[in-house]
Amino acid sequence: MRKLTIGLVGYGNVGSGLVQFLQKKKNFIKNKFQVEFAFKAICDKTIPDRKPAVPEGTLLTADYKELLKDPEITTIVELIGGVHPAREIILDAIKNGKHVVTANKSVISSHGKELFEQAQAHSVNLLYESSVMAGVPSIKMLSEGLAGNKFNAVYGIINGTCNYILSEMTSKKLSFAQALEQAQKNGFAESDPTLDINGMDSAHKIAILVNLAIRKFINLKEIHTEGIQHISHDDIEHAERLGLTIKLLAIAKRVHHELEVRVHPTLISKDHPLASINGVMNALYIDADPMGKILMSGEGAGQMAAASGVVADLINLASRSEKTAPRFFCNTHAESTEMQVIKIDQIMTKFYLRFMATDKPGVLAQIAGVLGKYDVGINSVTQNVHNKAATVPVVMLTEFAPEQMVRQALEEIHKLPIARGKPVAIRMEKLS
């Protein structure tokens, strides 16, 4: 029987979930893997005020350094989230020869290179399965399951909160605020849900996946990121009528010798399997060569989902022989520096456009004229006429066009006397 003695830093929703998970599955894990886990100490800055219930005999402290001093503790589990002080705690743990398991996407996406290099230098493991899609094994799928494949494209629904909000707005017609409140109640959202809804959480996660898939540490600033805060019921309904659905997609794909990495609301066909990923479910749709297409899906947020990924890493650690080389699941050596990320205004994409315009003859011709001037082809037009409203929506789907041209056309259309309000533009993705 192997025993892994853990120091846990962060005793919030996921931290307490981890302790509950391991208590509940203690015998099952013991019998199946011949492994036992012991929480020797738990550190949380709120501990002096909160005095939470913890397993018997566990030391409670607000000072993580106490965990690092203890030679019996071989593994630090970091579950505080955020970049600071998580980066400093992980570095300190590594330098003290402790293995680290974390669910922290912010710190891995922003400081992964430094952390992996330090882990390598100190011969310790740094595992982070739960940082992307929680317990759904995305890190293992990319790094191990599909080892040997070249990744052409990775499309992810990788924020449970946003997917839940969009699904509830679509199926139950909830308002954005009502759906967000429910996501928070269910424990899907970050403590600051801004990171979920402005797309940053998905950007952190796709940066991690790009490192595994394409061998590149990507600067978060290079990821064009838009959230779902401006998605309206009107656009959800227009999209539905056109056989489309809106998802917050994180996209990473090779285009010739360059890379597109972006996060934004995206219209996809209702017939594509990704369109049926609803609620808190996350999914990755991958085009790998020579394997082909893969879809992996599961609950990507929530207490037990997040704890599950951490437990998988702990079992992985405990089952490893001390003689085997440590694991980082990253590419610090073979970095693909020559692949540059294409700026968003340089990409070619299709758009869903919605203009609010005065209900007068000639409106369509004026809008189409400006789009034509910028060489933006129109694939379809829908206009609700005779509804007696002074302002009507004009919905257009474009052909593939350079983003820059579409943006310039929209600016010009916005200035037309017939325009009422800013045009809405949502990118479309044709997934095979």
Alpha carbon distance 377, 375 (integer Å): 6
Work out whether 11 is an interface residue with ligand HSE (CB under 6 A): no
Give the shortest CB-228-to-ligand HSE separation in angstroms: 12
Is 105 an active-site residue?
A: no
Q: How far is the CB of 190 from ligand HSE (least distance, A)?
A: 4
Q: Which residue has the tokens 């738990």?
A: 42
Site string for ligand HSE, 292-321 (x = CB under 6 A): --------xx--------------------
Smallest gap from residue 196 Cβ to ligand HSE (A): 5
DSSP for 35-87, written as a single string = EEEEEEEEE-TTHHHH-----TT-EEES-THHHHH-TT--EEEE---SSTTHH
Spatial CB neighbours of 405, under 8 Å, sequence gap ≥ 6: 374, 375, 376
Binding characters for ligand HSE, 119-138, by CB under 6 A (x = yes):
---------------x----
Residue 197 or 353 having the CB closest to ligand HSE: 197
What is the separation of C-alpha 172 from the centre of its chain, rounded to a whole number of angstroms? Answer: 24
Phi/psi of residue 396, nearest 5 degrees: -130, 145
Between residues 52 and 187, which has the closer beta carbon with respect to ligand HSE?
187
Q: Which of 140, 205, 216, 247 is catalytic?
A: 205
**Residue 266: which of 284, 250, 287 has the closest Cα?**
250
Q: What whole-number distance in Å separates Cα of residue 134 and Cα of residue 351?
A: 31
Work out whether 156 is an interface residue with ligand HSE (CB under 6 A): no
Work out how close the CB of 197 gets to ligand HSE at its nearest, in angstroms, rounded to a whole number. 9
Tell me which stretch binds ligand HSE (CB under 6 A): 39-47, 155-163, 215-223, 406-414: 155-163
Least CB distance to ligand HSE at residue 164 (A): 8
Closer of 160 and 423 to ligand HSE (Cβ): 160
d(CA 404, CA 378): 16
Min separation Cβ 225 and ligand HSE, Å: 15
Instruction: Check binding of 188 to ligand HSE (CB under 6 A).
Output: yes
If one asks whether residue 160 binds ligand HSE (CB under 6 A), the answer comes out as yes
- Is the CB of residue 166 less than 8 Å from the CB of residue 426? no
- With contacts defined by CB under 6 A, name the span among 23-31, 136-144, 186-194, 236-244 that binds ligand HSE: 186-194
Q: By C-beta, is 329 or 374 nearer to ligand HSE?
A: 329
Tell me how far CA of residue 212 lies from CA of 144, 207, 330, in angstroms.
10, 9, 6
Q: Which is nearer to ligand HSE, 186 or 332 (CB)?
A: 186
- 153, 319 Cβ separation under 8 angstroms: no
Query: Exposed (0-12), middle (13-18) or buried (19+): which is 47, by Cβ within 10 Å?
Result: middle
Site for ligand HSE in 221-250 (CB under 6 A): none
C-beta atoms surrounding 268 within 10 Å: 22
CB-based contacts of 379: which residues, under 8 Å, 6+ apart? Answer: 350, 396, 397, 398, 399
CB-count exposure of residue 10 (10 Å: 0-12, 13-18, 19+): buried
Is residue 157 within the footprint of ligand HSE (CB under 6 A)? no
Closest CA to 160 of 197, 204, 194: 197
Q: Does 189 bind ligand HSE (CB under 6 A)?
A: yes
Q: What three-state secondary structure class fits 350? A: strand
Binding status of residue 201 toward ligand HSE by CB under 6 A: yes
Determine if 196 is a binding residue for ligand HSE (CB under 6 A): yes
User: Is residue 100 involved in binding ligand HSE (CB under 6 A)?
Assistant: no
Of these, 125, 138, 161, 349, which contacts ligand HSE (CB under 6 A)? 161
Inter-axis angle of helices 13-24 and 303-319, to 10 degrees?
A: 60
- Could you tell me which stretch among 66-74, 82-90, 153-161, 379-387 binds ligand HSE (CB under 6 A)? 153-161
Minimum CB separation of residue 403 from ligand HSE in Å reads: 27
CB of 108 to ligand HSE, least distance (A): 12
106 binds ligand HSE (CB under 6 A): no
Residues within the interface to ligand HSE (CB under 6 A): 134, 159-161, 188-190, 196, 201, 300-301
User: Could you list the active site residues?
Assistant: 205
